[in-house]
């Protein structure tokens, strides 16, 4: 819809989705821009924290902001979101405090938040594509308890699940598509094709554009320019509307690019062509949308204010990350089981006695 130079010039395939843009006001456009800029600054700061030994790992989202922001704004409060592990801004939009993400990557928790208290944004899942099946089961549950396809767009629920080009090769991703199609779940599979699964290019994952696979499973598939935030919003809005209305699951392939490394443990200079990187940097989702907003007459002051806000946000996240404490050692044992378990209880008591024995020695 928006060209790489920031001009609104939708192609023919975009036409059926254009009415969904009518839902947006200029305030929404500003919010989209603000969120993309803020998360990029935060992302850079988090990578710095890892370099300084304050996080065990960081998973950058640089370059994928438009795909994530547009799709996240297409969800409704009653929907459920199953992320992979790179969807930081989706969490922010759903109401998650990013420090909760940092807690997990700092190694003080295996999870970090209660999904139902944070916009139904479920936990990150680190085994590739496992969450696709959880999301499909969750969507089956929405059908079974009658929370979807009632005809009330304000309350009908649906699920969106994020995964990537690498995860698309996993058996679980394919089994989730089979189950989703079979039970006609209210669900959108949002596949961010960022072209690289650590060092493996998407050509190794698939000989066919990934959105074409949807047809083989018996559901609609749409490929979008994932660096166009309006395309991401409009196509996801239609797909989620269809899912809530009982029209079944669908797949969106968002073409984007992992500008940074896979994680802070990765070195993409060893396997990526700098020209390819330059090609995608020239299609940066934020630069593009900024040009578009300027074309709409958005004042420079707003853009400057957003930069300031992003810097404050990142600095605040850094400060709060350094204040993260805990956890108590009892976290090792406390939630392994819901009901009493003699072996775990015994080992918890033993560790307490063992560690207390050192204090006794001091006295």
Partner 1 sequence: MTAALDTSVASASLPMTKALNAGLRRAMLDDPKVLLMGEDIGPLGGVFRVTEGLIAEFGDKRVLDTPLAESGIIGTAIGLAMRGFRPVCEIQFDGFVFPGFDQITSQLARMRNRHEGGLIMPVVIRIPYGGHIGSIEHHQESPEAYFAHTPGLRVVSPSNPHDAYWMMQEAIASDDPVIFFEPKSRYWPKGEVRFDESGTPLHASRIVRAGTDVTVVGHGAMVSVLLQAAELATAEGISLEVIDLRSISPIDYRPILGSVQKTGRLVVTQEAPGFVSVGSEIAATVAERSFYTLEAPVLRVSGFDTPFPPAAVETHFLPSPDRVLEAVDRVLAY
Q: Indicate which residues carry an active-site annotation.
A: 258, 262, 271
Rounded Cα distance between 292 and 270, Å, is: 35
Q: Is 136 in the site for partner 1 (CB under 8 A)?
A: yes
Site track for partner 1 across 316-335, x = CB under 8 A: ---------------x--xx
Least CB distance from residue 278 to partner 1, whole Å? 38
Q: Facing residues of 200 across strands? A: 197
Contact 272, 280 (CB under 8 A): no
Least CB distance from residue 254 to partner 1, whole Å? 23
Among 85, 121, 138, 163, the residue binding partner 1 under the rule CB under 8 A is 138
Among 54, 109, 206, 263, the residue binding partner 1 under the rule CB under 8 A is 109
Residue 200 belongs to what H/E stretch?
strand 200-201
Tokens of 304: 């400057």
- CA angle 173/69/67 to nearest 5° reads 50
User: 289 CB contacts (<8 Å, ≥6 apart)?
Assistant: 2, 6, 29, 32, 33, 36, 66, 229
Q: Considering Cα of 225, then 230, then 233, then 237, what sign does the dihedral take? A: negative
Q: Is 341 in the site for partner 1 (CB under 8 A)?
A: yes
Rounded Cα distance between 331 and 60, Å, is: 28
Among 145, 154, 275, 328, the residue binding partner 1 under the rule CB under 8 A is 145
**How many residues bind to partner 1 according to rule CB under 8 A?**
41
167-196 residues near partner 1, rule: CB under 8 A: 171-172, 175-176, 178-179, 182
Q: Is 343 in the site for partner 1 (CB under 8 A)?
A: yes
Binding site for partner 1 (CB under 8 A): 109-111, 114-115, 122-123, 125, 127, 130, 132-142, 144-145, 171-172, 175-176, 178-179, 182, 331, 334-339, 341-344
């Amino acid at each position: 819809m928006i060209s790489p130079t920031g001009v609104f010039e939708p192609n023919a395939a975009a036409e059926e989705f254009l009415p969904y843009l009518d839902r947006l006001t200029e305030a929404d456009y500003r919010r989209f821009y603000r969120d993309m800029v803020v998360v990029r600054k935060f992302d850079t700061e988090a990578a710095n924290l890892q370099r300084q030994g304050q996080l065990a790992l960081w998973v950058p989202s640089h370059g994928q902001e438009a795909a994530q922001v547009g799709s996240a704004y297409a969800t409704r409060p009653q929907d459920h979101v199953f992320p992979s592990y790179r969807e930081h801004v989706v969490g922010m939009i759903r109401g998650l405090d990013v420090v909760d993400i940092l807690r997990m990557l700092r190694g003080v928790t295996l999870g970090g938040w209660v999904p139902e208290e944070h916009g139904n944004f479920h936990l990150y899942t680190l085994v590739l594509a496992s969450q696709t099946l959880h999301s499909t089961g969750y969507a089956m549950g929405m059908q079974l308890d009658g929370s979807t396809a009632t005809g009330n767009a304000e309350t009908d629920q649906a699920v969106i699940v994020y995964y990537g080009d690498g995860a698309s090769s996993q058996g679980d991703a394919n089994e989730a598509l089979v189950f989703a199609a079979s039970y006609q779940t209210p669900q959108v599979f949002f596949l961010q094709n960022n072209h690289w699964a650590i060092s493996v290019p998407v050509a190794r994952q698939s000989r066919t554009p990934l959105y074409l696979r949807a047809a083989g499973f018996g559901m609609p598939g749409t490929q979008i320019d994932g660096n166009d935030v309006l395309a991401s919003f409009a196509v996801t809005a239609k797909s989620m509307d269809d899912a809530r209305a009982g029209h079944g699951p669908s797949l969106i392939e968002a073409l984007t690019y992992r500008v940074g490394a896979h994680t802070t443990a990765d070195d993409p200079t060893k396997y990526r062509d700098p020209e390819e990187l330059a090609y995608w940097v020239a299609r940066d989702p934020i630069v593009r949308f900024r040009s578009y907003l300027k074309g709409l007459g958005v004042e420079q002051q707003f853009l400057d204010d957003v930069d300031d806000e992003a810097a404050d946000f990142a600095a605040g996240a850094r400060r709060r990350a350094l204040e993260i404490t805990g956890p108590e050692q009892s976290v090792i044992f406390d939630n392994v089981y819901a009901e009493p378990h003699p072996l775990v209880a015994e080992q918890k008591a033993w560790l307490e006695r063992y560690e207390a024995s050192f204090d006794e020695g001091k006295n």
